[in-house]
Structure 1
Amino acid sequence: MTRRFILSASVAASAMADPAFAARVITAAQDAGLDLLLIGQTANLTLDPQVMAAWAAPRAGGLGIVPLVSTRIAHPFHTARALSAVDYLSGGMLGWCPVAQGGPAEQVADMVRATRALWDGWDEDCLIIDKASGHYLDSSKVRASHYVGTHYRTRGPVNAMRPKQGHPLLVADADSPFAVQGVDVAIVREGQACPAATKGLRRDTLSADPAKLGEQFASGLIDGLHCDLAQPLPELAQMAQRFGALAGERLASGTLRERLGCPLPAVLAPKTAQEENA
Structure 2
Amino acid sequence: MGVTGRKLNLNAFLAASGHHEASWRHADTSPERGVDIKHYLKLARIAERGLLDSVFLADGYWAHSGSLEPFTLLSALAAATKRIGLIATVETTYNEPYHVARKFASLDHISKGRAGWNIVTGAGPAAEQFSRSNHPEHHERYESAEEFVAVVKRLWDSWEDDAVRNDKGSGVLVDAAKVHEIDFIGKHFAVKGPLNIARPPQGYPVLVQAGSSETGKAFAAQLAEVIFTAQLTFEEAQTFYTDVKSRLPQYGREANELKILPGLSPVLADTEAEAKDIEDELFQLIDHQGAINRLSSRLGIDLSSHGLDDFVSLDGAQTTDQVSGMKSRHQLILDLIERERPTVRQLINRLAGARGHFTFTGTPLQLADVIEKWFLNGAADGFNIMPQIYPSGLERFVDKVIPELQNRGLFRTSYEEQTLRGNLGLARPENAFINPNPEKEVHIS
Q: TM-score scaled to structure 2, two decimals?
A: 0.56
Residue from 75, 91, 100 that aligns with 2:112: 91
Checking the alignment, whether the CA contact within 8 Å between 2:59 and 2:69 is kept in structure 1 is: no
**Partner in structure 1 of residue 384 of structure 2:** 226
**Pair 1:134 & 2:171 matched:** yes
Contact (CA 8 Å) 2:93, 2:145: kept in 1 or not?
no
Secondary structure of 2:104's match?
A: helix
Aligned to 1:271: 433
2:389, 2:95 → 1: CA distance?
27
Please, which runs of 5 or more residues in structure 1 have no aligned partner?
Answer: none
Cα deviation 1:226-277 (Å, max 9, x = unaligned): 13345431121132245313234242532111111011355xx32221299x
Partner of 2:260: 200
Change (3 A) 1:265 1:218: farther
Matched, 1:20 2:184: no
> 1 or 2 for the larger relative contact order (CA 8 Å, sep ≥6)?
2
Label 1:58 to 1:237 Cα distance change in 2 as closer, same or farther (>3 A): same
Report the CA distance shift for 1:70/1:60 in structure 2 as closer, same or farther (over 3 A). farther
- Deviation of residue 167 (structure 1)? 0.2
Deviation at 1:164, TM superposition (A): 0.3
Query: Structure 2 matches for 1:62-211, cutoff 5 A?
Result: 62-102=83-123, 104-174=141-211, 177=216, 179=219, 181-190=222-231, 191=236, 193=240, 195=244, 198-206=258-266, 207=360, 209-211=367-369
Alignment partner, residue 236 of structure 1? 394
Deviation at 1:224, TM superposition (A): 0.4
Deviations 1:158-200 (A, max 9, x none): 1011000000011111358371634211122233646555211
Distance, in Å, in 2 between the alignment partners of 1:153 and 1:243 is: 49
CA–CA distance in structure 2, aligned partners of residues 108 and 11 of structure 1: 25
Gaps of 5+ in 2: 17-31, 124-135, 249-256, 267-359, 362-366, 406-410, 439-445
SS of 2:436's partner is helix
Specify the code of the residue in structure 2 equivalent to 1:53: L
* Cα distance in 2 for residues equivalent to 1:58 and 1:105: 34
Sort the Cα spacing of 1:120 and 1:26 in 2 relative to 1 into closer, same or farther, 3 A.
same
1:257 alignment partner in structure 2: 421
- Cα-to-partner distance string for 1:123-178 (whole Å, 9 max, x where unaligned): 10111111121111221111111223343222110101100000001111135837
Contact 1:97/1:170, CA 8 A, preserved across alignment: yes
Change (3 A) 1:257 1:205: same
Q: Give the aligned partner of residue 4 of structure 1.
A: 7
Report the TM-score, using the length of structure 1 for normalisation.
Answer: 0.87
- Indicate conservation of the 8 Å contact 1:114/1:149, yes or no: no
Q: 2-side partners of 1:72 and 1:229: how far apart?
A: 29
- Corresponding residue SS for 2:99: helix
For the aligned residue pairs, the C-alpha RMSD in angstroms reads: 2.7
1:122 Cα deviation after fit: 0.8
- Judging by fraction of residues, say which structure has more strand: 1
Larger mean Cα displacement after TM superposition, 207-216 or 60-69: 207-216
Q: Give the total of aligned pairs.
A: 274
Deviates more, 1:37-46 or 1:108-117: 37-46
Contact preservation (8 Å) 2:204, 2:429: no
Partner SS, residue 165 of structure 2: strand
Q: Which amino acid aligns with 2:393?
A: E
Name the % identity: 25
* Structure 2 residue aligned with 1:31: 49
**2:397 aligned partner, one-letter code:** M
Bigger drift between 255-264 and 186-195 goes to: 186-195
Per-residue CA deviation, residues 90-146 of structure 1 (Å, 9 max, x unaligned), is: 121111101122352223322211111100111101111111211112211111112
* Matched-pair contact (CA < 8 Å) for 2:121–2:145: yes
Which is helix-richer, 1 or 2? Answer: 2
Which consecutive aligned stretches of 4+ in structure 1 deviate over 6 angstroms post-superposition?
Answer: none
Q: What is the identity, as a one-letter code, of the residue corresponding to 1:26?
A: A
DSSP-derived class of the 1:222 partner: coil
The one-letter amino acid paired with 1:205 is S
